[in-house]
Structures are given as C-alpha cells and as structure tokens.
Amino acid sequence: MSDALPEPLPETLPEPLHVILLTTANPAACLEAARTSLSRSPAALHSLTLRPVGDRFEAVLKLEGGGHRAASRMADMLAAWPEIGSVRLEHHLVRK
C-alpha cells in the first residue's frame, strides 16, 4: 500500500451534461413538448434524438448549462405533458 495521497480534486468540476429520456406514442407531441420546455429553460440543447422502439418512440435530449435544478424543472415540465409516457433524468460529468 502506498503512503502517497491521492491527487486533490480540481477547484471546479466539469459542467454536467443533463440527459432527459422520454417515451411517447406521439412523436410530434414529444417534439413540441421539448421545444416548449426548452424555450422556458436556461439550459442549452446539446443534441436531440428520436427513434422508434416497438410501438412507441424514445427521445433523448442532452442539455448543457442551467444546472441541476433547471434540468430537474425541465424534466418536470415534460412529465406534465399528457402525451409523454415516461421521463428519466440523468446528470453526467464529462471530463474533456
């Protein structure tokens, strides 16, 4: 076992990438929900994908900035849309 101490954490951690996964039967409504929610959020859209999964669709929104609370509020706004079946929010720290 080494007596060396681990390197200290950097002063600032990388800005997290927030990932919101949605399921829906109506892809057009899902895109409208994403557009409306983004217009009310300080977060910026990094990417958006929409793909069929069986008889439903899965959307993945990746957001930058805005912080954890803004991402959580956006996930709550999306979950309130009647056409959205489920919402999952993840926070990823990405080292560059």
Tokens of 30: 């899902």
The CATH number assigned to the domain holding 62 equals: 3.30.70.260
Model confidence pLDDT, tens digit, residues 77-88: 999 999 999 999
Within a domain: 4? no
What does pTM read for this prediction?
0.82
C-alpha to C-alpha distances, 46 to 59, 60, 62, nearest whole angstrom: 13, 11, 5
Within a domain: 37? yes
Model confidence pLDDT, tens digit, residues 36-64: 999 999 999 999 999 999 999 999 999 99
**Which pLDDT score is estimated for 16?**
82
| 25 vs 32: CA distance, rounded Å | 13
How many domains does one find in the chain?
A: 1
Domain extent for 73? 16-93
DSSP strands (E only) in 3-54: 16-24, 44-53
Model confidence pLDDT, tens digit, residues 9-32: 666 666 789 999 999 999 999 999
